[in-house]
Structure 1
Amino acid sequence: MNLLNVNMNVVYTIINLLILALLFKRFLFKPVDRILEERMRIIDMERDEATEARSNAEMMKHEYEARLKAHNDQVDSIISDAKEKAYEQYNEIISHANKEAEDIIDAAKSHAKVDAEREKNRILSDLSDVVVDAASKIAATAHTPETDSDLYDRFIKESMESRKSRRK
């Protein structure tokens, strides 16, 4: 009986182990498996959300880059337009200044011509006065070489003095 008794103990031990395995499986492993599955589901959900957030961030980045490029193009266009307008204004100012300079030069030339003509007439008038004065002095005196020489010397001296007084 001893052998049977030992065998019965083994059978009871096996049955106890099976019952313990079933109880562990039912009350310990299944809840732990559920907790692990729930955590895996949460991790997968967070991974999906992170992937979606990354794709949204990349899409927003591309949109931002596109807007920035459009903005830079617009800034370049504005700068180009401003340069063209400035160049047009520059050319307009230069042409206006050149026209005014030409007008001033033309006016100065015409004034110079009028002044030169006036000076020429004054000189001719003075010259005719001198000639008339010299002729009257020559006619009033006797013609000898000494008197003619003296007359020429006085004529030159008076002409020089008259010229000096006009310059002042």
Structure 2
Amino acid sequence: MNLTIELQKIIWTIINFIVLGLILRHFFIKPVNKIMDDRKNGINTSIKNAKDNEEKAENSRIEKDKLLHDSKSKGREIVEEYKVKAQNISQEIIDDAKKESVTLMDRSRVEIEREKEKAASEIQKQVIDLSLILSERALEKHIDEKEHRKLIEDFIVKVGS
């Protein structure tokens, strides 16, 4: 075996290897790297989209929870508002009933007072008539009725005072 180093073969082999490397790099490695980069970018985009969708879903859940809480609070406020309105209306009805009661009592008192005055007037009239009859019998003479009534009314006024 002959171990001689042939410099020319080594140089041609190195040149062939470099040319082959450049050809492979140009036609195979660059496209493969481009495909790998595109795939990497696609995966990164998918991961980013998944994270964005997850954030959107979380934000939607938080917003839904907030809306539910707000709705419950608003519902409670509406119930409380109507409860207060109902209490106010109830109080107004009670107040109106009390006012009506007082008005009826006042009217009744006025009516009673009128009836009392009417009864007193009627009694006074009867007393005058009785006095007239009694005085006629007592005096046994007949005095003019107008004059006699005037005397009795004056007498009752003096006695009544």
TM-score higher than 0.5: yes
Gaps of 5+ in 2: 1-18, 143-161
Distance in 1 (CA, whole Å) between partners of 2:122 and 2:60 is 90
Per the alignment, residue 73 of structure 2 pairs with 74
Give the stretch that moved more between structures: 27-36 or 58-67: 27-36
Count, aligned residues: 124
Distance in 2 (CA, whole Å) between partners of 1:123 and 1:135 is 18
Gaps of 5+ in 1: 1-19, 142-168
TM-score in terms of structure 1 length: 0.64
Alignment of 1:33-52 (within 5 A): 33-52=32-51
* Residue 79 (structure 1) shift: 0.5
Deviations 1:31-62 (A, max 9, x none): 01011111111111111000000000000000
Partner of 1:48, secondary structure, is helix
* Residue 94 (structure 1) shift: 1.1
Partner of 1:109, secondary structure, is helix
Deviations 1:98-149 (A, max 9, x none): 11111111111111111101011112222333454567779656xxxxxxxx
Distance in 2 (CA, whole Å) between partners of 1:48 and 1:140 is 136
Per the alignment, residue 91 of structure 2 pairs with 92
Per the alignment, residue 52 of structure 2 pairs with 53
Distance in 2 (CA, whole Å) between partners of 1:118 and 1:96 is 33
Distance in 2 (CA, whole Å) between partners of 1:137 and 1:25 is 162
* Residue 27 (structure 1) shift: 2.0
Alignment of 1:134-145 (within 5 A): 140=141
Q: Which amino acid is 1:118 matched to?
A: E
* Residue 22 (structure 1) shift: 6.5
Give the stretch that moved more between structures: 58-67 or 84-93: 84-93
Per the alignment, residue 10 of structure 2 pairs with none
Residue identity over aligned pairs, in percent, reads 7
Match status 1:30 vs 2:29: yes
- Over the aligned positions, Cα root-mean-square deviation in angstroms equals 2.6
Give the stretch that moved more between structures: 102-111 or 129-138: 129-138
Per the alignment, residue 116 of structure 1 pairs with 115
Distance in 2 (CA, whole Å) between partners of 1:26 and 1:100 is 105
